[in-house]
Structure 1
Amino acid sequence: MTQSTALIQSAQRTVRLELEAIEALFERINADFVRACELLLACRGRVVVVGMGKSGHIGNKIAATLASTGTPAFFVHPAEASHGDMGMITRDDVVLALSNSGSTAEIITLLPLIKRLGIQLISMTGNPDSPLAQAAQANLDARVAHEACPLNLAPTSSTTASLVLGDALAIALLEARGFTAEDFAFSHPGGALGRRLLLKVENVMHAGDALPQVARGTLLRDALLEMTRKGLGMTVVLEADGRLAGVFTDGDLRRTLDRGIDVRNASIDSVMTSHGKTARAEMLAAEALKIMEDNKINSLVVVDADDRPVGALNMHDLLRAGVM
């Protein structure tokens, strides 16, 4: 066997074992899981996640996922909790303790204090008969048949199972709370994600004097001058009452030239796209982007409730705003 083959087989074995560990979780989403969700939904304080070693790393991620999906949470290192950080935990909190063995000394040391304060305890362990599991009001069973490590020692399958179980918990709570995309955006205001979820069309559209517009009956050559002045690669065409009649874009100009139409004497009415796709100012910019992508167009007219143009935007605007 070549080294390449051995490496591939080892990797495939790891993936297979971890998949088996995840599949085994299905039958363990049971009454204890429901009880854990109920405790967290009723929590008046925050979820305090604790764990040592690799379980601590997974716990840190679970706390971050909970916090970003509507369940206020933070991670406390159990060893530090015994040396002052226990003061971060209040009677209104719920503790989520991770330990594969269920007997991690640093966590077991905290149990009397947790009980004394009357704090609700949820455990996530690989041993439902362990001291930690027995002390908890709900135990999330994360046991695995075998670690992916060939020595069955390094936490691999077990940490993956715990991570997936934590995600299942966070998403179940998210759905139970009716957590929305806008809620998610407010906890992720920075970066592309926040911009996609918070930015509205009115924040990026060209309005007022920056909106290219001509009336029905305008000569095409004059409409082209308006397009050049405003630099959006399009112009809105208005009915006499100010409502949207159509739109003329750079693409329409190419099609007009292909048809051999005299651009100096033609009327905008004969070459424009009637009405066309539109957006609303209060719409999310990401929704406007989807309209453009679905219809394979590069610009949108923004209209009000009476179908009167109030702005326009194009792909470049969304690109500059970081929506794409």
Structure 2
Amino acid sequence: MAKPKPLMTKSSGRDDGAVQSALRTLDAEAGGVAALTAALKSDLGPSFTAASDLIRNAKGRVIVTGLGKSGHIGRKVAATFASTGTPAFFVHAAEASHGDLGMITADDVILALSWSGEQPEMRNLIAYAARFGIPLIAMTADKDSTLSKAADVQLTLPKAREACPHNLAPTTSSLMMLALGDALAIALLEGRGFTSTDFSVLHPGGKLGALLKYARDLMHTGDTVPLKPLGTKMSDALVEMTSKGFGCVGIVDRHGHLVGIVTDGDLRRQMRPDLLTLSVDEVMTKTPKTIGRDTLAGEALELLNASKITTLIVTDAKKPVGIIHLHDLLRAGVA
């Protein structure tokens, strides 16, 4: 049986050419985004604000439409709207003329994406919007196009060369549409005060859903929380640590406030013949890392990693109400 050929370790001239091509593509597309940024600071700004206001004040949904590459971008823009608190869905511009116009109501707003603004498939949709008084926002690169002239708001994209060396394949133009769609979605998110709590309602599944759980959803409570009062002998504290299995014990004062923590690390650092006869006051870390009930699981994981620890005590008004271990986050799919 022939042995497989070893992988090449040196870049060939062909490989270098591929990298150079990639760099040219990224430069071209970055130039398009830079032009879009400049336009927003100038003539495009007022139209962007008008589009945002129109969508925010609509009673219905945002109907995003397009075809070809603009249609693919439109699907993503509609999904981003929907996931960030702006009800939206995508209607293919060609399918609209074959019954899908029935999905669009007079309370909706149409966002139509077309680089040229001249696709014939858009004509019936434009006529439908005019007939029923449905606001139309056009995202095009030609303010004099049929679509742009028919629209209530024109989001005119600046001219930019495609990354394609023939200036044909939609590349830079697609990215600019995507970027402007994202910018509009985030402007609406911020304008509505859409919070991480709202976000978690719309993203309950997968790792993202796990990251958006709260400490209160994952913490251990009641008698499972290892706690001892100030003045406790280390021998008793060690029994509490061992029986509860979190590798730590929280220390509370006479008011029930958390004032310290003894961890496995503290034991190693304080290792001495009389350790078990000492009080927890002499061994504990006096500034334990804590979180609140409403801390997101993702934030808890970030704190654990940054502090290089495995356990966090959950507090409410300085009183311990629960405990979370790294393993809890792993089981929940956060890490």
Residue 65 of structure 1 is matched in structure 2 by: 80
Residue 281 of structure 1 is matched in structure 2 by: 293
Contact 1:101-1:125 within 8 A present in 2 as well: yes
Distance 2:53 2:279 in 1: 67
The DSSP-based 3-state class of the residue aligned with 2:122 is helix
Residue 192 of structure 1 is matched in structure 2 by: 207
Count how many residue pairs are aligned between Structure 1 and Structure 2. Answer: 320
TM-score, normalising length from structure 2? 0.89
The DSSP-based 3-state class of the residue aligned with 1:103 is coil
Residue 260 of structure 2 is matched in structure 1 by: 246
- Pick from 7, 17, 23 the counterpart of residue 6 of structure 1: 17
Residue 230 of structure 1 is matched in structure 2 by: 244
1:311 matched to 2:322? The reply is yes
Q: 1:291 to 1:156 in 2, by over 3 A?
A: closer
Aligned runs of 1:102-141 on 2, under 5 Å? 102-141=117-156
Distance 1:254 1:213 in 2: 20
Q: CA deviation at 1:208?
A: 1.4
TM-score, normalising length from structure 1? 0.91
Q: Percent identity?
A: 52
Distance 1:153 1:277 in 2: 56
Of residues 271-280 and 44-53 in structure 1, the stretch that sits farther from structure 2 once superposed is 271-280
Q: 1:226 to 1:39 in 2, by over 3 A?
A: same
1:100-155 deviations in whole A, cap 9, x for unaligned?
11110111232112110111111111221110111001111224332111122111
Distance 1:273 1:42 in 2: 53
Q: 1:75 to 1:296 in 2, by over 3 A?
A: same
Q: 1:86 to 1:190 in 2, by over 3 A?
A: same
Contact 2:77-2:178 within 8 A present in 1 as well: yes
Contact 1:206-1:312 within 8 A present in 2 as well: yes
Distance 1:319 1:113 in 2: 52
Of residues 186-195 and 246-255 in structure 1, the stretch that sits farther from structure 2 once superposed is 186-195
Of residues 143-152 and 122-131 in structure 1, the stretch that sits farther from structure 2 once superposed is 143-152
Unpaired runs of 5+ in structure 2? Answer: 1-11
1:137-192 deviations in whole A, cap 9, x for unaligned?
11112243321111221111111111111111111211222222222222111122
1:190-223 deviations in whole A, cap 9, x for unaligned?
12222222x2222222221211122333322222
Of residues 82-91 and 272-281 in structure 1, the stretch that sits farther from structure 2 once superposed is 272-281
Contact 2:50-2:153 within 8 A present in 1 as well: yes
Of residues 265-274 and 287-296 in structure 1, the stretch that sits farther from structure 2 once superposed is 287-296
Of residues 100-109 and 82-91 in structure 1, the stretch that sits farther from structure 2 once superposed is 100-109
Contact 1:278-1:303 within 8 A present in 2 as well: yes
Contact 1:244-1:275 within 8 A present in 2 as well: no
Q: 1:55 to 1:42 in 2, by over 3 A?
A: same
Q: 1:271 to 1:261 in 2, by over 3 A?
A: farther
Aligned runs of 1:43-192 on 2, under 5 Å? 43-192=58-207
Of residues 32-41 and 126-135 in structure 1, the stretch that sits farther from structure 2 once superposed is 32-41
Residue 235 of structure 2 is matched in structure 1 by: 221
The DSSP-based 3-state class of the residue aligned with 2:29 is helix
Q: CA deviation at 1:270?
A: 2.0
The DSSP-based 3-state class of the residue aligned with 2:112 is strand
The DSSP-based 3-state class of the residue aligned with 2:207 is helix
Give the letter for the 1:110 counterpart.
L
Contact 1:144-1:157 within 8 A present in 2 as well: no
Q: 1:109 to 1:143 in 2, by over 3 A?
A: farther
Q: CA deviation at 1:247?
A: 1.4
1:44-85 deviations in whole A, cap 9, x for unaligned?
111111111111000101111111112111000111111111
Aligned runs of 1:31-50 on 2, under 5 Å? 31-50=46-65
1:25 matched to 2:36? The reply is yes
Q: CA deviation at 1:290?
A: 4.2
The DSSP-based 3-state class of the residue aligned with 2:203 is coil
Unpaired runs of 5+ in structure 1? Answer: none
Q: 1:303 to 1:173 in 2, by over 3 A?
A: closer
Q: 1:125 to 1:273 in 2, by over 3 A?
A: same
Q: CA deviation at 1:244?
A: 2.8
1:208 matched to 2:238? The reply is no
1:267 matched to 2:282? The reply is no
State the 4+ residue runs in structure 1 displaced beyond 6 angstroms: none
Contact 2:39-2:158 within 8 A present in 1 as well: no
Q: CA deviation at 1:293?
A: 4.1
Distance 1:299 1:44 in 2: 47
Distance 1:9 1:47 in 2: 40
The DSSP-based 3-state class of the residue aligned with 2:121 is helix
